[in-house]
């Protein structure tokens, strides 16, 4: 079994994406042997009223009964925009979102923002993961209209410290994600938090070492497709030698960690 | 949970191919079946391990570093991904003056690596045309020691007249001229570390049109450059080859590059981002034969032209 914890539908305004519909995602998943995928709607980054993107996501999922079985939808919430609590209620309780997605760099707030912290507490109280990416795209070749700031893993700490008993899905480890960036207390906190990181990011170079330092339950296969190619995130797992990851440990990365984290 | 046996999967995949008319991402790959639980069946999981073994590879844009044990580390990850040969260089430190002592030291490191792993590393020298005498001497020395081309950095633009003698020398040698490309945000605001002398694809086009007999390699379209702009810039310039290396494994980059310049002018490379380099070629919507060309055949064709090909 294989679960992809990082995939998208929707549009990216600065270049044409392919594979960004439910139908195309299913075709990709079948070709790769992916059983289920966490699904986000990219349009939630760009619509001021993110609930429109959530509506799009669930309308797309309702087009085919298979989509509801294969995709694990996360709703985008912008905690500094009017009506975000209503959006939470709508997307979680009525539409069936299985997690919350934040885009602080695009929506223009800090993780220490009281509304963001309140949102994380609401997600915690509903046992829903909070997802964030260190970056959406490589900022270097992106458009002059795109945000230029990217995060390191440590930049997620303000929210984790504020709500340490929530669940966090950290995606696209594209910048410094080394455990050495944390002090002893911070590293202990990261290890103790219900935190799952995907394998799509460029800094996932020594996955076996990262598993040793953060914990083997802290990682799961993710592709970040169709922004990144659909293979590299899996290749990082497959290329580990038996002495670096046992078959059982690889199974955790393929699906067990995701299954446990997402409560499937 | 969805249930699907292998026959169903293959039938659906074939139907999808018939609809799209082109390979799905990875549809050309062989598949195996991961164990299913007793009450569930899943789509067969792609066997990347088999795919890694299936294709021979020449990394046309590789580096070695001064850190202890680096050569062995490079070989280790190359072994892991079945990269048989790597074309290595050691560019000078960004922001430095690029004096002869710097490029000689870099080239000595490459020569050392070539000697330690003669069956795995091909070497490329580096130089700085602001020091013409020393640069020409370094070409003689390094080619004499078995190097197969030159890797240039950002001290001087590739279309600057200072480079003409270097280009003419490599025309005589029939060898590849690999040039770093400027990293920046959509070609408007360059990365802070890039100096004025950094080349952009249009500079290479100018040099390539001036010297149609020369062979140029445009560096790392996955290396933080605007890969769409780079590929478009070199359409119709037959003596520019494009390497797909770099840490940015944006989906469809290779498909776009094939569309712009054709499969025969693309080189596989990693630029030290090995998983992305191998991964996005596996993901590309190209045929097996095209993937073989990209991973191995295209660069080996160049090696054959200088009598250094891999059997």
- The answer to whether A96 contacts chain B (CB < 8 Å) is no
Q: Which pLDDT score, from 0 to 100, does residue B187 have?
A: 59
Closest-CA residue of chain A to B73: A206
Query: In this structure, are residues A213 and A179 in contact, taking their beta carbons and an 8 Å threshold?
Result: yes
Q: Rounded to a whole number, what is the distance in Å from the CA of A214 to chain B's nearest CA?
A: 21
A24: left (phi over 0), alpha (psi -120 to 50) or beta: alpha
- Domain region containing A13: 3-262
Contact (CB<8Å) A228/B250: yes
Domain spans in chain B, listed from the N-terminal domain onward: 1-46, 56-305
Q: How far is CA B249 from CA A19, A22, A228, in A?
A: 15, 22, 6
Query: In this structure, are residues B89 and B123 in contact, taking their beta carbons and an 8 Å threshold?
Result: yes
Closest-CA residue of chain A to B81: A239
Q: A-contacting residues of B 79-118, CB under 8 Å?
A: 80-81
Count CB atoms within 10 A of the CB of residue B8.
14
Sign of CA dihedral B37, B42, B44, B45: negative
Give the Cα separation of A142 and A185 in Å (integer).
36
Sign of CA dihedral B140, B143, B145, B151: positive
- The answer to whether A68 contacts chain B (CB < 8 Å) is no
Summarize pLDDT for A185-205 with one digit per residue, the tens. Answer: 999 999 999 999 999 999 999
Residue A4 tokens read as 């992809």
- The answer to whether A17 contacts chain B (CB < 8 Å) is yes
In this structure, chain A runs to a length of 264
Q: What is the mean pLDDT of chain B?
A: 88
Q: How confident is the model at residue B14 (pLDDT cuts 50, 70, 90)?
A: very low
pLDDT for B240 beyond 50: yes
Q: How far is CA A195 from CA A121, A170, A199, B267, in A?
A: 15, 7, 13, 39
B116 CB-near residues (< 8 Å, 6+ apart): B71
Q: Find chain A residues with C-beta within 8 A of B273's C-beta.
A: 202
Q: B-contacting residues of A 112-171, CB under 8 Å?
A: 137-144, 146, 148
> Which residue in the set B31, B251, B255 is minimally distant from A225, CB to CB?
B251
Q: Find chain A residues with C-beta within 8 A of B9's C-beta.
A: 30
Closest-CA residue of chain A to B33: A33
Per DSSP, the three-state class of A239 is coil
Q: Find chain A residues with C-beta within 8 A of B16's C-beta.
A: 27, 30-31
Q: What are phi and psi of B31, to 5 degrees?
A: -125, 150
Contact (CB<8Å) A231/B26: yes
Q: Which pLDDT score, from 0 to 100, does residue B34 have?
A: 44
Q: Which of B306, B51, B36, B16 is nearest to B176 (CA)?
A: B306
Q: Rounded to a whole number, what is the distance in Å from the CA of A106 to chain B's nearest CA?
A: 17
Q: Which pLDDT score, from 0 to 100, does residue A102 have?
A: 98
Summarize pLDDT for B247-264 with one digit per residue, the tens. Answer: 999 999 999 999 999 999
pLDDT for A107 beyond 50: yes
Q: Rounded to a whole number, what is the distance in Å from the CA of A133 to chain B's nearest CA?
A: 16
Summarize pLDDT for A119-173 with one digit per residue, the tens. Answer: 999 999 999 999 999 999 999 999 989 999 999 999 999 999 999 999 999 999 9
pLDDT for B281 beyond 90: yes
Closest-CA residue of chain A to B285: A229
Query: In this structure, are residues A28 and B24 in contact, taking their beta carbons and an 8 Å threshold?
Result: yes
Sheet holding B176-179, edge to edge: B149-152, B176-179, B215-218, B240-243, B266-267
Q: Which pLDDT score, from 0 to 100, does residue B11 have?
A: 39
Query: In this structure, are residues B249 and B226 in contact, taking their beta carbons and an 8 Å threshold?
Result: no
Q: Which pLDDT score, from 0 to 100, does residue A7 have?
A: 98
Count CB atoms within 10 A of the CB of residue A95.
18
Q: Which of A1, A222, A221 is nearest to B42 (CA)?
A: A1
Summarize pLDDT for B146-197 with one digit per residue, the tens. Answer: 999 999 999 999 999 999 999 999 999 999 999 999 887 665 667 777 788 8
Summarize pLDDT for B15-36 with one digit per residue, the tens. Answer: 333 333 344 444 333 333 344 3
Closest-CA residue of chain B to A14: B186
CATH number of the structural domain B56-305: 3.20.20.140
Residue B178 tokens read as 């690999």
Per DSSP, the three-state class of A77 is coil
Contact (CB<8Å) A15/B228: yes
Q: How confident is the model at residue B62 (pLDDT cuts 50, 70, 90)?
A: very high
Q: Which pLDDT score, from 0 to 100, does residue B94 have?
A: 83
Give the Cα separation of B111 and B92 in Å (integer).
15
Contact (CB<8Å) B46/A18: no
> Which residue in the set A30, A146, A225 is minimally distant from B43, CB to CB?
A30
Give the Cα separation of A241 and B297 in Å (integer).
28
Q: Which pLDDT score, from 0 to 100, does residue B195 have?
A: 81
What is the DSSP secondary-structure string of B168-232?
HHHHHHT-EEEE----EETTTEE-TT--TT---HHHHHHHHHH-TTSEEEE--TTTTS-HHHHHH
State the best of B279, B284, B286, B295 to mutate against chain A, taking most chain A CBs within 10 Å: B279
- State what percent of residues in chain A have pLDDT above 70: 100
- The answer to whether A234 contacts chain B (CB < 8 Å) is yes
Alpha helices in A33-165 (DSSP H): 43-46, 50-61, 65-70, 84-88, 104-107, 114-125, 157-162
Q: Which of A235, A174, A237 is nearest to A203 (CA)?
A: A174
> Which residue in the set A2, A202, A225 is minimally distant from B45, CB to CB?
A2
**Which of the 8 DSSP states describes residue A19?**
S
Contact (CB<8Å) A230/B25: yes
B257 CB-near residues (< 8 Å, 6+ apart): B221, B227, B231, B242, B244, B266
Q: Which pLDDT score, from 0 to 100, does residue A230 have?
A: 97
pLDDT for B39 beyond 70: no
Q: Which pLDDT score, from 0 to 100, does residue B36 have?
A: 39
Burial of B84 (0-12, 13-18, 19+ CB in 10 A): middle
Sign of CA dihedral B105, B110, B111, B113: positive
Q: Which pLDDT score, from 0 to 100, does residue B41 have?
A: 60
What is the DSSP secondary-structure string of A193-204?
SEEEEES-STT-
Per DSSP, the three-state class of A1 is coil
Give the Cα separation of A43 and A32 in Å (integer).
25
Mean pLDDT of all residues in B66-74: 98
Give the Cα separation of A105 and A111 in Å (integer).
10
Q: What CATH number is given to the structural domain containing A171?
A: 3.20.20.140
- The answer to whether B251 contacts chain A (CB < 8 Å) is yes
Q: What are phi and psi of A197, to 5 degrees?
A: -115, 140
Task: Report the relative pairing of strands A167-171 and A129-133 from DSSP bridges.
Answer: parallel
Per DSSP, the three-state class of A99 is strand
Residue-wise burial string across A54-74, b where 16 or more C-beta atoms lie within 10 A, e elsewhere: bbbbbebbeeeeebeebbbbb
pLDDT for A63 beyond 50: yes
Residue A85 tokens read as 């609590």
Task: State the total domains in chain A.
Answer: 1
- The answer to whether B176 contacts chain A (CB < 8 Å) is no
Give, for A81, the enclosing helix (H) or strand (E): none
Reported ipTM: 0.96
């Amino acid at each position: 079994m294989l679960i992809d914890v990082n995939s998208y539908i929707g549009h990216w305004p600065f270049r044409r994406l392919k594979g960004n519909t439910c139908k195309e995602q299913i075709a990709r998943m079948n070709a790769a042997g992916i059983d289920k995928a966490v699904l986000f709607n990219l349009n939630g980054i760009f619509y001021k009223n993110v609930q429109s993107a959530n509506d799009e996501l669930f309308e797309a999922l309702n087009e085919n009964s298979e989509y509801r079985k294969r995709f694990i939808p996360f709703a985008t919430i912008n905690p500094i925009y009017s009506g975000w609590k209503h959006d939470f209620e709508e997307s979680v309780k009525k539409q069936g979102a299985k997690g919350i997605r934040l885009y602080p760099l695009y929506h223009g707030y800090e993780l220490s923002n009281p509304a963001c912290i309140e949102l994380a507490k609401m997600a915690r109280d509903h046992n829903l993961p909070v997802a964030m990416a260190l970056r959406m795209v490589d900022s270097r070749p992106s458009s002059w209209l795109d945000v230029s700031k990217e995060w390191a893993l440590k930049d997620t700490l303000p929210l984790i410290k504020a709500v340490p008993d929530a669940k966090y899905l950290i995606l696209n480890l594209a910048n410094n994600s080394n455990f050495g960036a944390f002090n002893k207390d911070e590293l202990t906190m990261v290890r103790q938090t219900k935190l799952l990181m995907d394998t799509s990011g460029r800094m996932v170079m020594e996955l076996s070492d990262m598993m040793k330092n953060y914990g083997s339950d802290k990682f799961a296969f993710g592709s970040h497709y169709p922004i990144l190619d659909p293979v590299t995130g899996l290749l990082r797992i497959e290329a580990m030698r038996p002495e670096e990851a046992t078959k059982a440990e690889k199974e955790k990365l393929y699906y067990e960690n995701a299954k446990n984290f997402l409560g499937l | 949970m969805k249930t699907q046996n292998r026959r169903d999967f293959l039938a659906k995949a074939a139907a999808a191919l018939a609809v799209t008319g082109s390979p799905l991402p990875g549809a050309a790959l062989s598949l195996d079946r991961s164990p299913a639980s007793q009450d569930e069946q899943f789509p067969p999981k792609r066997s990347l391990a088999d795919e890694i073994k299936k294709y021979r590879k020449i990394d046309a844009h590789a580096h070695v570093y001064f850190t202890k044990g680096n050569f062995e580390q490079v070989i280790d990850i190359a072994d892991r991904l079945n990269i048989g040969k790597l074309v290595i260089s050691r560019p000078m430190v960004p922001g430095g003056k690029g004096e002869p002592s710097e490029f000689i030291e870099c080239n000595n490191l490459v020569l050392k690596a070539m000697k330690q792993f003669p069956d795995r590393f091909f070497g490329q020298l580096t130089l700085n045309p602001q020091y013409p005498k020393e640069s020409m001497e370094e070409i003689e020395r390094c080619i004499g020691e078995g190097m197969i081309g030159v890797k240039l950095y950002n001290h001087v633009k590739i279309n600057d007249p200072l480079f003409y003698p270097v280009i003419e020398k490599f025309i005589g040698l029939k060898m590849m001229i690999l040039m770093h490309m400027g990293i920046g945000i959509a070609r408007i605001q360059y990365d802070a570390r890039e100096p004025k002398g950094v080349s952009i694809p249009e500079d290479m086009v100018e040099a390539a049109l001036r010297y149609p007999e020369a062979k140029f390699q445009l560096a790392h379209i996955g290396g933080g450059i605007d890969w769409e702009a780079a590929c478009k810039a070199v359409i119709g310039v037959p003596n520019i080859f494009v390497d797909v290396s770099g840490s940015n494994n944006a989906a469809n980059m290779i498909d776009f590059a094939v569309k712009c310049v054709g499969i025969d002018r693309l080189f596989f490379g990693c630029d030290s981002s090995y998983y992305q380099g191998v991964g996005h070629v596996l993901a590309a919507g190209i045929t097996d034969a095209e993937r073989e060309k990209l991973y191995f055949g295209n660069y080996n064709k160049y090696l054959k032209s200088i009598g250094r090909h891999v059997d």
